[in-house]
Amino acid sequence: ADLAVALDLPELAGFNTADSFSNSTEITRIVAQRMPARTTAEWLPLLAARGIWHMPVKDYDELRDDAQLAHLGVFIDAQSVEGAPITMLNHPLRYDGAAPPVRFAPQKLGMQTREVLGELGYGAEEIDALLAAKAVGAPPAPSSN
């Protein structure tokens, strides 16, 4: 009922909480049609006034600057394998009040393909054949100049 009032959608009042999941498609359709009637800045106080949980959709930069996410320690700064600064999602759990440190920077896609296939028993020629057939991917092998 609070959402029906906040969005000025009397047709939503007919959906009770117990039925909201089974009617989620219809409720979503009704709400989606209503949202373009106002800007995000106009909707926020209306939702807040009714105690409805909400948050504006944010882009990556806005998420990075969000005070609540910063307080929760959602992001962590690290270095890529090339040494460039990167921002990553922090470990979601805390142990004795702290998130575990970053032990390894994220690898480039396929960076360990040769190593993993070698550990699985593939020989260098077999790995080269798989790469040539594009069955697997890996960055180019370092040149031996």
Residues 92 and 72 in one domain: yes
Which residues are registered as beta bridge partners of 78? 86
Joined together, the tokens standing for residue 104 give 């390894």
> Average pLDDT for residues 82-106, to the nearest whole number?
89
Q: What is the pLDDT of residues 120-130, one digit of tens each?
A: 999 999 999 99
Residues 65 and 33 in one domain: no
Residues 43 and 20 in one domain: yes
Q: How confident is the model at residue 25 (pLDDT cuts 50, 70, 90)?
A: very high
To the question of pTM greater than 0.85 for the whole model, the response is: no
Residues 96 and 129 in one domain: no
Joined together, the tokens standing for residue 81 give 């394998």
Joined together, the tokens standing for residue 48 give 């807040």
CA 143/CA 81 separation, integer angstroms: 19
Q: How confident is the model at residue 103 (pLDDT cuts 50, 70, 90)?
A: confident
Residues 73 and 86 in one domain: yes
CA 84/CA 104 separation, integer angstroms: 14
Q: Is 46 helix (H, G, I), strand (E, B) or coil?
A: helix
Domains in the chain: how many in total?
A: 3
**Backbone torsion region of residue 137, taken as left when φ is above 0, otherwise alpha when ψ lies between -120 and 50, otherwise beta:** beta
CA 8/CA 11 separation, integer angstroms: 9
CA 114/CA 107 separation, integer angstroms: 13
> Average pLDDT for residues 104-117, to the nearest whole number?
89
Q: Which residue has the higher pLDDT, 106 or 9?
A: 9
Q: Which range of residues forms the domain containing residue 93?
A: 60-106
Is 54 domain-assigned? no
Is 55 domain-assigned? no
Helices (H), 35-123: 40-49, 60-64, 67-72, 113-119
> Average pLDDT for residues 2-25, to the nearest whole number?
89
